[in-house]
Amino acid sequence: MDKTATTEKVAIITLGCEKNVVDSDIMSQLIDERGYLLIDNPQEADVVIVNTCGFIDAAKEESVNTILEVADLKESGNLKSLIVAGCLTQRYKEVLMDEMPEIDGIVGTGDFDKINQIIEDSLAGKKPIFVGNPAFSYENVARRKVEKGTYSAYIKIAEGCDNKCTFCIIPQLRGAFRSRTIESIVAEAKELAAQGVKEVNLIAQDSTNYGFDIYGERVLHKLLREVSEVEGIEWIRLHYAYPGYFTDELIEEFASNPKVCKYVDMPLQHSEDRVLKRMLRPGRQRDTRELIAKIREAVPDVALRTSIIVGFPGETEEEFQNLKAFLREVQFDRLGVFTYSQEEDTAAARLDDQIPQDVIERRANELMEVQREVANERNGRFVGKVVPVLIEGYDGKNDVYIGRSQYDAGEIDGEVFVTGYKGELGQIVSVHITHSYDFDLAGEVM
């Protein structure tokens, strides 16, 4: 559509994972091109888009509560149209429209490029519903509008998933695994660099599987090399690198490419073979141990992150204790612990040996205590060293700048509190680390 003058103000609220952040950025670009005024404050908006998550119960509850809170703005604010997007709509479009008449329009995970039409139809009094095939093509809509002052951004290198993990609903919400071309990803990286982004985070449901569906081989290492040649991009961070396809070529790229962060995000979900088999996760503990040893040998300063699910149906107390011992021994630098959620339409939800919620919560708390000890020890190795830090914010109350090293991902890992810095935000500076605090670090700029 051509950009035309409009008076409507549009706000987007993004919930859930970073993949939704990418989708919201693309919608923002389309909305801006149409001529709507994008604003941050929903209370002043004529149109509010809630980009939802429907992955687990807690996320669904947050999404529903947010929709209801926004709906109240029809009485207390300027709201004319409430549009709901994302995974929750892909999964529950009929329920949402039947039970929440406050909603004026719905768009699923494969149709958000139609957002301007949905806005126009909803403002005209219609109730547009665009929820079809979840297989959206990021090849055709790669331009994104990121907020000013964004120095780190995500790029989807693929969408969907071909794995059949028994606890996961994602293939039904996002479709089959679909890689983007290297050319389109590089073009997006250039667009982001032009907007001031210094770090790109490459994401997919199964990033190490990248390229096989379109190139006939897994070429993640080649993609990393191509993106590293984009002028202005200083750091490249890889997320969700499943262990099954972590090739020697990929390890070599981590070891030799100075722009690739020495940070491996490898979601394992568990350590015990019987649990992994019931989850339909590829590989077994022996394979994982061998891969971790190989990575650490090639990249000695690497930071390893993983995610674990506790309380999967049938997980015995012995298996849980073995998991704790595994984490103590392997010593992941970063760890995300998730409590199992019995999601409808998944194979695991039909298993008989579901674990009581109080047991699941107790196990999760125990794991985080283990990780606190491990993280404190692992973080201590940086004290006395000089590390590059991306400066992203300033705390005026304490007169310190806040940033991250290449060993920490934004919003999920630790931060570095920096004193003695006098420059602008968005710069990567050398910091002498003086203190370690469990997950965070502090130091002085060199």
Identify which of 313, 337, 316 has the alpha carbon closest to the alpha carbon of residue 327.
Answer: 337
| Structure-token match 């020890």, residue found | 377
Residue type, position 154, single letter: Y
87 annotated as ligand-binding: yes
261 annotated as ligand-binding: no
Q: How many CB atoms lie within 10 A of CB 248?
A: 10
Q: Give the 3-state secondary structure of residue 98.
A: helix
Q: Give the 3-state secondary structure of residue 234.
A: coil
Residue type, position 369, single letter: E
d(CA 109, CA 173): 7
165 annotated as ligand-binding: yes
Query: How would you class 298 by CB atoms within 10 Å of its CB: exposed for 0-12, middle for 13-18, buried for 19 or more?
Result: middle
Residue type, position 195, single letter: Q
Identify which of 269, 271, 213, 207 has the alpha carbon closest to the alpha carbon of residue 241.
Answer: 207
Radius of gyration of the chain (CA): 22
Q: Which helix (DSSP H) or strand (DSSP E) does residue 212 occupy?
A: helix 212-215
Kindly give the pairing relationship between strand 440-445 and strand 158-159: unpaired
Q: Give the 3-state secondary structure of residue 148.
A: coil
Q: Is 240 left (phi over 0), alpha (psi -120 to 50) or beta?
A: left
Identify which of 436, 420, 423 has the alpha carbon closest to the alpha carbon of residue 381.
Answer: 436
Task: Supply the DSSP string of 278-330, one letter for each residue.
Answer: HHT-SS-HHHHHHHHHHHHHHSTT-EEEEEEEE--TT--HHHHHHHHHHHHHH
Phi first, then psi: give them for residue 108, nearest 5 degrees: -85, -170
Kindly give the pairing relationship between strand 440-445 and strand 416-419: parallel
For CA atoms 76, 79, 83, 85, the dihedral sign is negative
Residues 6 or more apart whose CB falls under 8 angstroms from that of 65 comprise none
Residues 6 or more apart whose CB falls under 8 angstroms from that of 169 comprise 54, 55, 91, 343, 345, 346
Binding-site members for [4Fe-4S] cluster are 17, 53, 87, 161, 165, 168
Binding-site members are 17, 53, 87, 161, 165, 168
